[in-house]
């Protein structure tokens, strides 16, 4: 299963409500603070993130099996766990970054509610 989760837009400007993710060297305004599911991301100069993620908006999808979704795909950022209960990875689709999220905790706060 795959379903739309959010759009991530890189910015060079500080945004109201941003949170500093010290380990990732990034400032984020959660998609949950946006009526339209927009996540704003601002990276520190020395953040270890590919330029494709640093400068190009990405679309994120919640998936049920991250490993199977990654099979045969061009990997941009390998699977990792930015917070407990979620695994994420970025792939490249026709030159655009795509984020895939697998929630291992069904009550994770970033997980979308079931319809």
Report all structural domains of the chain as residue ranges with CATH numbers, in order of start: 2-103 (3.10.180.10)
Average pLDDT over residues 99-114: 83
Question: Which residue, 115, 110, 112, 113, is CA-closest to 21?
Answer: 110
Work out the number of other CB atoms within 10 angstroms of the CB of residue 41. Answer: 22
Longest dimension (CA), the chain: 40
d(Cα 66, Cα 62) in Å, to the nearest integer?
A: 9
**In the chain, pLDDT over 70 holds for what percent of residues?**
98
pLDDT at 100 over 60: yes
pLDDT digits (tens, 9 = 90+) for 41-91: 999 999 999 999 999 999 999 999 999 999 999 999 999 988 888 999 999
Tell me the pTM: 0.90
**φ, ψ dihedrals at 6, nearest 5°:** -165, 170
pLDDT of 115 reads: 53
Using DSSP, state whether 30 is helix, strand or coil. Answer: coil
d(Cα 4, Cα 63) in Å, to the nearest integer?
A: 9
């Amino acid at each position: 299963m795959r379903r739309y989760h959010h759009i991530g837009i890189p910015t060079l400007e500080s945004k109201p409500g941003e949170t500093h993710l010290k380990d990732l060297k990034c400032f984020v305004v959660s998609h949950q603070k946006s009526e339209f599911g927009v996540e704003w991301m601002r990276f520190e100069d020395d953040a270890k993130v590919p330029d494709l993620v640093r400068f190009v908006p990405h679309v994120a999808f919640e998936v049920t099996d991250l490993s199977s979704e990654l099979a045969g795909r061009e990997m941009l950022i390998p699977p990792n766990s930015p917070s407990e209960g979620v695994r994420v990875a970025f792939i490249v689709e026709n030159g655009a970054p795509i984020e895939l999220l697998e929630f291992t905790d069904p009550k994770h706060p970033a997980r979308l509610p079931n319809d």
